Amino acid sequence: MDKIIKIIAEELKIRENQVENTIKLIDEGNTIPFIARYRKEVTGGLSDETLRELGDRLNYLRNLEKRKEEVINSIDEQGKLTDEILKAVALSKTLAEVEDIYRPYKQKKKTRATVAKAKGLEPLADIIMEQKETKSIEEIAKEYVNIDKLSDEDKKNKDKVVATAEDAIAGALDIIAENISDNSKYRKEIKRQCYREGLVETKAANPEEKSNYEMYYDYNEAIKYIPSHRILAINRGEKEDFLKVKLAKPEEKILAYIERDIIKGDTQFTKMLKETVLDSFKRLIEPSIEREIRSDLTEKAEEKAIKVFGQNSKQLLLGAPIKGKTVMGFDPAYRTGCKIAVIDETGKVLDYTTVYPTAPQNDVENAKKELLKLIEKHEIDMIAIGNGTASRESEMFVADMLKETKREVCYVIVSEAGASVYSASKLATEEYPDINVSIRGAISIARRLQDPLAELVKIDPKAIGVGQYQHDVNQKRLAESLTGVVEDSVNKVGVDVNTATPSLLSYVAGINNTIAKNIVKYRDENGKLKNRKQLLKVPKLGKVAYEQCAGFLRIFDGDNPLEVTAVHPESYDATEKLLKEIGAKPEDLKDKEKLEEIRNKLKSVNVETMSKELEIGEMTLTDIISELSKPGRDPREDMPKPILRSDVLKLEDLKEGMVLTGTVRNVIDFGAFVDIGVKHDGLVHISEMSDKFIKNPSEIVSVGDIVKVKVIKIDTERQKVGLSMKV
């Protein structure tokens, strides 16, 4: 365990006691959000991202130690365990290295070498490897010819017959070739050389065929430099049969390295050993090393893509809510018509319809009439337009229609990724049993504007659509990572226990799907919860779950004003004492004038002295002060608000040099896509993000950021716009 603690501390650049304490908390069954928020003193204030990374590495390293034990036991049972093997296994840092050591001792399927061993040719292989024998090898090999010694039945079995001296030598060389291939020292060095000097080479499967992969039709790049997005693009091109991919390796160097280790001077065995080294490399080592390296590159690229996807999703989930507005959700389409849903400020559906302002019907006048009527009837403040098919045509229609309304209404383009997945889901059917599937998408789009987090948690995180190659990566790993991102986002914001849906509640620390449904059922049967303690009456929500979830659940208009904050029940006593120290009480948090007074007094609190007096940690006290200063405040209010539009921009309106304001829709390895109000998002390449060198676009921008961009390239034919942030 000490070894694991040391490794994690070095990798994450944190102290060993932070790692040790965190592992203890994880092993005790605490959730990551709970540890991140309420055990800062124990972890030294580690963030949720670091804690999740720590948890992942802990799992990997524990699995590695378990596999090391299994390998040592297996080799020991075969009576082949040596101090050298023990040392090599102990020094292995990855599962791949352990498997390389285990390779020679693994139960093999039938190979040329296993057949040769069954024929008793191992001693001959040893003689060739020793290279000491002066008697001709043909002479020695004759002793292994067994055809005259076999029964007539055995002679029919090729796997038993050694008919000639040549056959004996060939079999012995097969054994040597496999031994070379199984040598973990060679494999480690070969991989090292390939990573240092190898190239990824791609060719077109059919050079005449047009595709998205044309830049890779005759392409090569050093393995050590190739970025993750290119690995994933190449993999996809190969999977779709547009590309042929291989790794170019420093073959001469590799062969020379193995030969130096095996060949002992110029003997009768030199030529055959050189040929055997080549055979071993070409037939056995090269294909498996190529598979391993490509698998390793893919795994690393996938991890990177998953990380980018996680960062983008978090920004999207934590997008600023638009509160207190009546919203019209507008789900654009062509043939089937645009679906419209009106929801009030609480998210309740007031009205819905379908209009046909787009092709092929182009019934603009009737659509206008119907929507203007809805705007007046329900006093609509905003229109949320989905950014999918027919989005820009719908936007033009809406912008034109708004010129005729008496009310001040603006519109916002909203990402509709996953809305159709949600519409047809079991959850949507439960929420809106009497509403048509097609209308549910419009409801989801409207609600995303009001509260992105509450709506997006209903959708499979993979369908949120803010990554790169998310359908190509390890889906299990992606799902795990995104679940973590959603958990962290939900718990960071906090959840109103009296209004939250089961899907939102199920992401709260310590609450699973069953408990989430039980909370809603308890609420329906007993009315609103008045205090957090009531949670203990919810079936299956015991003391352990209560400790994990209580601080993340908010109760507005309840018995205790502290319960609109993230102050945990375990800190209520200390919090009340703190308020008493400054001449206040919890009830004062509800009074605006008194709250302002409390804020001013809290600013002058000496955290070091007060934490000793209250017998709580300084970090916990700092968090309590922060919560008391803004009770019930949504942390998403600090996030950039969506851009409100009232008129539309066409590609033809753009001119090079134009400076516009846009919303970052997606951040990828090579740049960011920005919605500037034309049909397709413009690309800001990484080289156009800053005057200084940046390694990753996420250093500069996040999904949802509002940025100023300059148009630097317009490709009308391909409908592409190049942008620069060097404004």
Per-residue pLDDT of 194-207, as tens digits, reads 999 999 999 999 99
Per-residue confidence band for 468, with pLDDT thresholds at 50, 70 and 90? low
User: What's residue 479's pLDDT?
Assistant: 84
- Find the helix packing angle between 251-262 and 270-279, rounded to 10°: 130
Looking at residue 321, the DSSP 8-state letter turns out to be: P
Could you tell me which residues come within 8 angstroms of residue 343 by beta carbon, excluding any fewer than 6 positions away? 326, 327, 329, 349, 350, 443, 446, 447, 450
Could you give the residue ranges of the DSSP H alpha helices within 474-562? 475-493, 502-505, 513-526, 543-549
How many angstroms separate the CA atoms of 607 and 587, rounded?
23
Say whether pLDDT at 179 is over 90: yes
Measured at the CA of 11, the angle between CA 71 and CA 476, to 5 degrees, comes to: 65
- Whether 330 and 340 have beta carbons less than 8 Å apart is answered as yes
Is the model's pLDDT at 134 over the cut of 80?
yes
| 527 contacts 517 by C-beta, under 8 angstroms | no
Task: Give the chain's radius of gyration (CA, Å).
Answer: 33
**In the chain, what are the domains?**
2-105 (1.10.10.650), 322-450 (3.30.420.140), 651-724 (2.40.50.140)
Task: Quick: pLDDT tens for 680-713.
Answer: 789 999 999 998 888 889 889 888 888 889 999 9
Going by their DSSP bridges, the two strands 659-668 and 553-554 should be labelled as unpaired
pLDDT band at 465 (very low <50, low <70, confident <90, very high): low
Which residues, including other chains, have CB under 8 Å from residue 247's CB and lie 6 or more apart?
194, 198, 199, 200, 201, 223, 290, 293, 294
Q: What is the pTM of this model?
A: 0.81
* Integer Cα distance of 232 and 221 in angstroms: 14
Residue 314 corresponds to which amino acid?
A: K
What's the rounded Cα separation, in Å, for the pair 141 and 136? Answer: 9
Residue-wise pLDDT for 621-660, tens only, equals 999 999 999 998 888 888 777 877 766 667 788 888 988 8
Distance CA(338)–CA(329), nearest Å, equals: 10
Within 13 Å and on the Cβ side, how many CA atoms surround 406? 5
The CA-atom distances, in angstroms, between 231 and each of 189, 299, 668 are 23, 10, 14
Task: Identify the sign of the CA torsion 198, 200, 204, 205.
Answer: positive
Mean pLDDT of 398-424: 88
Cis peptide before 360 (omega within 30 of 0): yes
Please determine, for residue 466, whether its predicted confidence score (pLDDT) is greater than 70.
Answer: no
Range of weakest confidence among 275-289, 440-454, 658-672: 658-672
For 138-161, the pLDDT digits (tens) are 999 999 988 877 777 777 778 888
Q: Which amino acid is at 596?
A: E
DSSP codes joined into one string, 638-653: GSPPPPPBSS---GGG
Q: H/E/C letters for each residue in 135-167?
A: CCHHHHHHCCCCHHHCCHHHHCCCCCCCCCHHH
Instruction: Give pLDDT, residue 311.
Output: 84
Which helix or strand (DSSP H or E) is residue 341 part of? Answer: strand 338-343
What is the average pLDDT value for the chain, to the nearest integer? 92
State pLDDT tens for residues 6-62: 999 999 999 999 999 999 999 999 999 999 999 999 999 999 999 999 999 999 999
| Pairwise CA distance, residues 523 & 268, whole Å | 88
pLDDT confidence of residue 317: 87
Give the per-residue pLDDT at 676: 85
Average pLDDT over residues 653-669: 86
Rounded distance, CA 564 to CA 552, Å?
Answer: 10
pLDDT, position 418:
80
